[in-house]
Chains A and B, each alone.
Chain A
């Protein structure tokens, strides 16, 4: 029976990478993800993990190193935060289009300017067009579990895509919580070895990435888009298998908390969903039919799963822990895709958004009570007064 210990999200990510027996790791320091690499460095130095631990010269180098390693057949691991995530931007599409199922473990951080160590989802969210798998955990346990699940999903031959496994900086990355690690036999059963389809080889020469003509581009883009149609099934299978082997059951796409009969609901990802759940409990005790939908994946976006889960709700409050200046609703970016998911419903919920948790700020229980008040008013008046509310301002 596996032991339960207290550990931070950073340590949980490192333990996940170790359990996955990653072979090439590329490090570079930036707060708050750095501790993931510090933990792995100790594991490698002590002989607990046989891996090449490469000190990259920067985040762009980190992702480039693991691209090469993956192309040559190694399970590869890297990570970053904040402007480190955006500095590496050039390489994300080559990695996704090149079908290198590398994992990037991200403890998110507000983007400059100016320097701000606090959590915000904008860093990884801003890469969402690049073709990676992308999602947030809401606990150190889920970080560990997502690390293993993401390798399993990403390396599946129906997928072959790199994965960004994200956690809230500080709130998850640095606050310890109960984590049960997998036994070696469980990991072995759940996660097969990385089996690349066309690795760089001296016995079977291949070319990766020759130049194409413009007319050859669109079909390749279509193939990449088509792959995402196949991903949800792989996610479902892996999540079910994980539950069977490890005994921890996750909704593959959207965690639903007291949502079945909810009239108002929060749509919220990551750490602050924990506070939201406590707020939902309190609202329920006050007779408010509140619920919560927590997406575990941003890419692939769980479109019809959200329509199913939220379709009956009268008003949805999207909690935006990221910014998208000048976007359609002039707030964050989750609201756009959430509204798109609900658009085709005959009886669409009202939707608004709340900008919170930006810059590393805490979202307080009182904030959720305020949001619930706004949503209840929307339900009563049957209209959306505003699309963006800035919490605390």
Chain B
């Protein structure tokens, strides 16, 4: 059978802030908290993706706080999914458009199909569906907006909640002084590790808006499944001043709590690698979720981060994908 041209979109990189498209696809009208990290990244993702886009919104903050009946913020098509099945619903949408394209019913560009899932909907209750989708080579971008908890239900622990973080399911107490004992899952590694059809996996944060938008465009320009892990700090869950959302993300990178990298066709490319890492205590101090920790707990966290840092390639072997001015 000859290869069919589905008219997958090719989205050009945005070279500078001046060149960022003005059109908004994620508009005012949602009810997220002041300083909401996930809402910030949603706006950037939607802007980068453009109008030929369909979002799948598994239950989570970016459903419940966004999608109120009669006033959603989406200028593009959007569908609710269960927290369990974002990857599966997206797979069905992608398949339907493939058949519609083959039969001539859908004549335009193939839509960007984007799952906007929280950490729970990506690697906890949503893990099976995410993995199934990655395995089956669907042309879908799966975004994990990581606010490191089940925030929508009032801040409960998820598999990406950091060691030592207080949540309502990991409250610190006499028997469990650190609150959370478990270390988090490594989200991008779970995707990269075992899905041969995956084309591109990258990490980014809300403190790196141009980087974020360009990684979205790069992912959407691939002919198969892609994954973005986006750090989206949550003032309500992490207990920091709501004005400091991008600052928290920046500190995460500067302390090694969060790594910025792309994995593309088997090759890793690290960016924003600090010349000298700040101690994790600087990251944890402004956040009330860590306020109960003793020096031995912080030391345990530092040891965990030190191990992680060893994996990072240094010096940077390939030029950064975004202009160096943006790294400041």
Judge if A155 is at the interface, Cβ distance under 8 Å. Answer: no
Min CB distance B304 to A, Å, is 31
Contact between chains at A24 and B95 (CB < 8 Å): yes
Contact between chains at A68 and B53 (CB < 8 Å): no
Contact between chains at A207 and B108 (CB < 8 Å): no
**Given A57-B128, A90-B84, A202-B53, CB of A74 within 8 Å of CB of B136:** no
Q: Which residue of B lies closest to A55 (CB)?
A: B136
Judge if B45 is at the interface, Cβ distance under 8 Å. Answer: no
Within 68-100 of A, Cβ neighbours of B (below 8 Å) are at 68-74, 76, 90-91, 94
A71 to chain B: which residues have CB within 8 Å? 79, 89, 92-93, 96
A50 to chain B: which residues have CB within 8 Å? 99, 102-103
Q: Which residue of A lies closest to B109 (CB)?
A: A202
Judge if B69 is at the interface, Cβ distance under 8 Å. Answer: yes
Contact between chains at B54 and A200 (CB < 8 Å): yes
Contact between chains at B99 and A65 (CB < 8 Å): no
Judge if B67 is at the interface, Cβ distance under 8 Å. Answer: yes
Contact between chains at A207 and B67 (CB < 8 Å): yes
- For A194-208 the 0/1 string (1 means CB < 8 A from B) is 000000111101111
Min CB distance B327 to A, Å, is 34
- For B125-149 the 0/1 string (1 means CB < 8 A from A) is 0001101100110000000000000
Min CB distance B78 to A, Å, is 5
- For A280-309 the 0/1 string (1 means CB < 8 A from B) is 000000000000000000000000000000
Judge if A61 is at the interface, Cβ distance under 8 Å. Answer: yes
Within 68-94 of B, Cβ neighbours of A (below 8 Å) are at 68-70, 72, 74-82, 84-85, 88-94
Contact between chains at B79 and A207 (CB < 8 Å): yes
Give the residue among A24, A207, A208 with the most B Cβ atoms within 10 A.
Answer: A207
- For A46-65 the 0/1 string (1 means CB < 8 A from B) is 01001110111110110011
How far does the alpha carbon of A203 sit from the alpha carbon of B77 in the complex, in Å? 9
Contact between chains at A202 and B67 (CB < 8 Å): no
A76 to chain B: which residues have CB within 8 Å? 92, 96
- Binding stretch for chain B, among A182-190, A209-217, A230-238, A246-254: A209-217
How far does the alpha carbon of A61 sit from the alpha carbon of B126 in the complex, in Å? 11
Contact between chains at B75 and A73 (CB < 8 Å): no
How far does the alpha carbon of A202 sit from the alpha carbon of B53 in the complex, in Å? 6
A90 to chain B: which residues have CB within 8 Å? 82, 84
Number of B residues, CB within 8 Å of A: 49
Contact between chains at B92 and A72 (CB < 8 Å): yes
Judge if A23 is at the interface, Cβ distance under 8 Å. Answer: yes
A164 to chain B: which residues have CB within 8 Å? none
Judge if A66 is at the interface, Cβ distance under 8 Å. Answer: yes
Judge if A67 is at the interface, Cβ distance under 8 Å. Answer: yes
Judge if A355 is at the interface, Cβ distance under 8 Å. Answer: no
Q: Which residue of A lies closest to B103 (CB)?
A: A50
Contact between chains at B68 and A69 (CB < 8 Å): no
How far does the alpha carbon of A52 sit from the alpha carbon of B82 in the complex, in Å? 22
Min CB distance A277 to B, Å, is 41
Contact between chains at B92 and A69 (CB < 8 Å): yes
- For B94-116 the 0/1 string (1 means CB < 8 A from A) is 11111110110100110100000
Q: How large is the interface on A (under 10, 10 to 19, 20 to 34, 35 or more residues)?
A: 35 or more
Q: Which residue of A lies closest to B100 (CB)?
A: A73
A213 to chain B: which residues have CB within 8 Å? 69
Min CB distance B220 to A, Å, is 13
Main secondary structure of the interface of B (DSSP, over half): mixed
**Contact among A24, A72, A211 for B68, CB-based, below 8 A:** A211
How far does the alpha carbon of A91 sit from the alpha carbon of B85 in the complex, in Å? 9
How far does the alpha carbon of A206 sit from the alpha carbon of B76 in the complex, in Å? 7
Q: Which residue of A lies closest to B108 (CB)?
A: A202
Min CB distance B263 to A, Å, is 23
How far does the alpha carbon of A202 sit from the alpha carbon of B79 in the complex, in Å? 13
A208 to chain B: which residues have CB within 8 Å? 78-80
Contact between chains at A210 and B67 (CB < 8 Å): yes
Contact between chains at B77 and A209 (CB < 8 Å): no
Judge if B195 is at the interface, Cβ distance under 8 Å. Answer: no
- For B181-193 the 0/1 string (1 means CB < 8 A from A) is 0000000000000
Contact between chains at A200 and B92 (CB < 8 Å): no
**Contact among A64, A68, A203 for B108, CB-based, below 8 A:** A203
B77 to chain A: which residues have CB within 8 Å? 200-202, 205-207
A72 to chain B: which residues have CB within 8 Å? 54, 92-93, 96-97, 100
How far does the alpha carbon of A314 sit from the alpha carbon of B11 in the complex, in Å? 74
**Contact among B53, B78, B95, B135 for A207, CB-based, below 8 A:** B78
**Given A24-B96, A91-B85, A211-B63, CB of A65 within 8 Å of CB of B91:** yes
Contact between chains at A61 and B129 (CB < 8 Å): yes
**Given A60-B85, A209-B79, CB of A202 within 8 Å of CB of B54:** yes
A-B residue pairs in contact (CB < 8 Å), sample of 14: A24-B99, A52-B98, A54-B95, A55-B136, A57-B132, A60-B128, A68-B79, A68-B95, A69-B93, A90-B82, A91-B82, A94-B82, A202-B54, A202-B108
Given contacts A60-B88, A74-B96, A205-B75, 4 further A-B contacts (CB under 8 A): A57-B88, A71-B92, A72-B100, A211-B64
The 6 closest A-B pairs by CB, nearest first: A68-B92, A209-B80, A64-B88, A74-B96, A57-B132, A72-B96
A contact residues vs B (CB 8 Å cutoff): 23-24, 26, 47, 50-52, 54-58, 60-61, 64-74, 76, 90-91, 94, 200-203, 205-213, 216
